[in-house]
Structure 1
Amino acid sequence: MALTFRAIHEDQPGPKWAGLFAEYWPSYRKWWSREGLAGRPTYLECRRALRTHMPELVPIYEELCERAGGGDLEARFLSFYCPPRYLSGCSQAVWQGDEPLLVRNYDYSAQAFDAVVLRTHWQGRGVIGTSDGLFGLVDGINDAGLAVSLTFGGRREVGDGFGVPLILRYVLQTCTTTQEAGEVLARVPCHMSYNVTVLDAQRQYLTAYLAPDRPPVMTNAAVATNHQERVEWSSHARFTATVERQRFLLQRLTLHPETQDKFIRSFLQPPLYSTAFSSGFGTLYTAAYRPRHASLQINWPGRVWTKSFEVFDEDMMHITLPDTAGVAFL
């Protein structure tokens, strides 16, 4: 299975972003409307939700809607408000050395993945991140050195709120410290359960347990996999080995002091690295964020791709994913 990652740099929404949207929109429209258009909020409901909870994003949202063609469906999709449910795997952890370092595996379906690392300077804030829906991010860093990443929280419940990738975008557009990010995560509603880890250049970090049906919980957890304070969806937990991955990471952080490079390499091996690509939970990449350098290093077995605000080449990385069925967790 082949996957091509692209690095795109466009400071303000323009022809590059519009071209990407036109390329991806047919697939996203099919996914977004799969439960029927009547099941998705109206444009007015979406815009009202954005103005209520993320007002700073409204100007860039409106500009993106115009670049996407100004249609009703495109605008509703780009709001990320009450989208269809979606699940991912993922593991993430804050290295316990002196240098701030956030490492994560993104475990998801290759067919539903943008495979775009986007550098923008929207509304005066530099952001580099892995795109989702071409507005949201599944992980990223801003020019203040604030890094953020998500994992699925391991619960079935769905409610009124935003898709978490847009919440990550909002954090990076408006916050510079972990404390500020925590305040945002505590108040913006999320439509499903997710774990969001935040790390800043002063090495302050938190992991927020977000949910649609109960108040968010802010923790000082350095590790997040696919459950929150306890396992609540046992079959999903078994399939993704969330408890085993959490224990493995906690052991590495507490019992095996190691270098940054060795810690990053551990994400490319079992039990963290998954080859369950046929089931939509294979590890598509390993990202290492270094807040003090405002840089991103994306890793695959035998391959490394580095991006930063100082050096950001618009290039591509061609990756071959193993065609292995099942789960590679041991």
Structure 2
Amino acid sequence: MQKVQSDIMTFRGSHFDLGVETGKWMKQTRLLQNREKEWKKRLPRFDIDANETHSIFQTYAPQIWEELIGMREVLELPIRQIVFNFAHYRFTPIKKDSGCTVFLGNDYLVRNYDYHPATYDGRYLLYQPNDGGYAQIGPTSRVTGRMDGLNGEGLAMGYNFMHRKKPANGFVCYMIGRLILELCKNTEEAIQLLSEIPHRSSFSYIMMDKNLNHAIVEVSPRDINVRYDRTCTNHFKLLTHENRNYTKESKERLARTLKQTDIQMDKRKAFELFNNPEYEIYSKLFSSWSGTIHTSMYNPETMEAWIALGENGTPVQIDFNKWLAGNELNIHSFDGYIDTEIQFASK
């Protein structure tokens, strides 16, 4: 059992200045060094077009491009390398058949993020921009992306991997998660955004807004459909023709989740259900790219965000409204235990 830790970073200001602060954080970690081998091995195989990437960001989120430029200023990397590693457009890093489980209670979204620890940033970010885009709280993914979170308008988001078949030019999942939080104030706007942007591969995106409207949007590079269920694992229910060949484990985990949940379930019980391995929703398959790294929960009405690293954790609870009103946090990190020796990317 390994003790792991995530930094908490808070920032108010422009996206460019956030990029500068992010670059400073990266220079204090081993994240750049840990990914250097992958860069050297894979960069020559991929045709990176910085101009195309700049153009797509100008269309959807020009402020995020400014964040990339701020990072470049501190890290002193060529723009091609910044685009390759942090723009998350067209290029998909090594990705196995990962897990993840989401349940929508009456007034909350709870999810397990199941993946490989060596890809995990170990950074939790609260950001209040002054140059466009909504404020956000949640763990970062590949530095500039988000795998789940809550924004200042009360929209909560998470996503689940479906498959890697037949990718297309488009944004990858963690940048799409960022775009949802950055640009959408409710579930309806998130559905509209997902129908407009180009997608690299196939995922389900799960949203709940402050009016408790919710949706699970099934997306592939070729198709999109919306369902209004409250549970999601790693197979499509509508776009079944897009499913991976092996869905047995995902369907079994979905059945266990359905059996143990109901819409009126208390959020504390739901969090325990997801975070305690004995209920068999939490996963320890870390070496198979499907171990639960964190359990998170978001309440759009109260603007609460909970998170715990690893198993059987006491969740860190943050009142996002209070932070947005100017009250600073009194904690700068949190820790937990995962049953593997594989270390986070930043450690």
Q: Distance in 2 between matches of 1:264 and 1:139?
A: 15
Partner of 2:49: 42
The alignment-based identity, stated in percent, is: 21
Q: Determine the C-alpha separation between the residues in 2 that align with 1:127 and 1:302.
A: 23
Gaps in structure 2 of 5+ consecutive residues:
324-328, 343-347
- 1:275 alignment partner, one of 284, 302, 308: 284
The whole-number CA distance in structure 1 between the counterparts of 2:99 and 2:39 is 20
Inter-CA distance 127–244: structure 2 relative to 1 (3 Å threshold):
same
Aligned to 2:314: 303
In 1, Cα distance between equivalents of 2:61 and 2:254: 32
User: Cα deviations across residues 233-261 of structure 1 (Å, max 9, x unaligned)?
Assistant: 233x34xx21012122233445x853222
SS of 2:121's partner is coil
Q: Does 1:258 align with 2:265?
A: yes
The residue that corresponds to 2:176 in the other structure is 167
Residue 116 of structure 2: which of 109, 112, 120 is its match? 109
CA distance in 2, matches of 1:151, 1:137: 12
Q: Which residue is 2:252 aligned to?
A: 244
How far residue 263 of structure 1 moved from its aligned partner, in angstroms, is 1.8
| Number of residue pairs the alignment of both structures matches | 317
Is the 1:11–1:121 contact (alpha carbons within 8 Å) kept by the matching residues of 2? Answer: yes
Q: Aligned to 2:229, which of 199, 214, 221?
A: 221
Looking at structure 2, the residues matched to 176 and 33 of structure 1 have their Cα atoms a distance apart, in angstroms, of 39
Question: 1:319 is matched with which residue: 336, 339, 347?
Answer: 336
Displacement, 1:70? 5.4
C-alpha contact 1:227 1:242 (8 A) present in aligned 2? yes
* Superposition map of 1:36-75 within 5 A: 36-55=43-62, 57-69=64-76, 71-72=78-79, 73-75=81-83
Deviations 1:9-39 (A, max 9, x none): 1223165311223332333454355433341
CA drift at 1:308? 2.9
Q: Specify the SS of the correspondent of 1:169.
A: helix
Question: How far, CA to CA, are the matches of 1:234 and 1:172 in structure 2?
Answer: 31
Could you say if the C-alpha distance between residues 302 and 173 of structure 1 is closer, same or farther in structure 2, counting changes exceeding 3 Å?
closer
Shift of residue 89, structure 1, vs aligned partner: 1.2
Letter in 1 for 2:136: V
Distance 1:8 1:194, change over 3 A: same
Counterparts in 2 of 1:130 and 1:7: CA distance versus 1, 3 Å: same
Q: TM-score, normalised by structure 1?
A: 0.87
SS at match of 1:117: strand
Distance 2:67 2:154 in 1: 22
* Number of the residue aligned with 1:89: 99
**What is the aligned-residue RMSD (CA, Å)?**
2.4
Deviations 1:56-97 (A, max 9, x none): 6444444444344352211332221112242431001111x3
What residue ranges of structure 1 are gaps of 5+ in the alignment? 326-330
Q: Does 1:233 align with 2:244?
A: yes
The partner residue of 1:177 within 176, 181, 186 is 186
Q: Describe the superposition over 1:108-133 as per-residue Cα deviations: whole angstroms up to 9, x where unpaired.
A: 11111001111112235321111012
- Distance in 1 (CA, whole Å) between partners of 2:83 and 2:73 is 9
1:195 equivalent to 2:201? Answer no
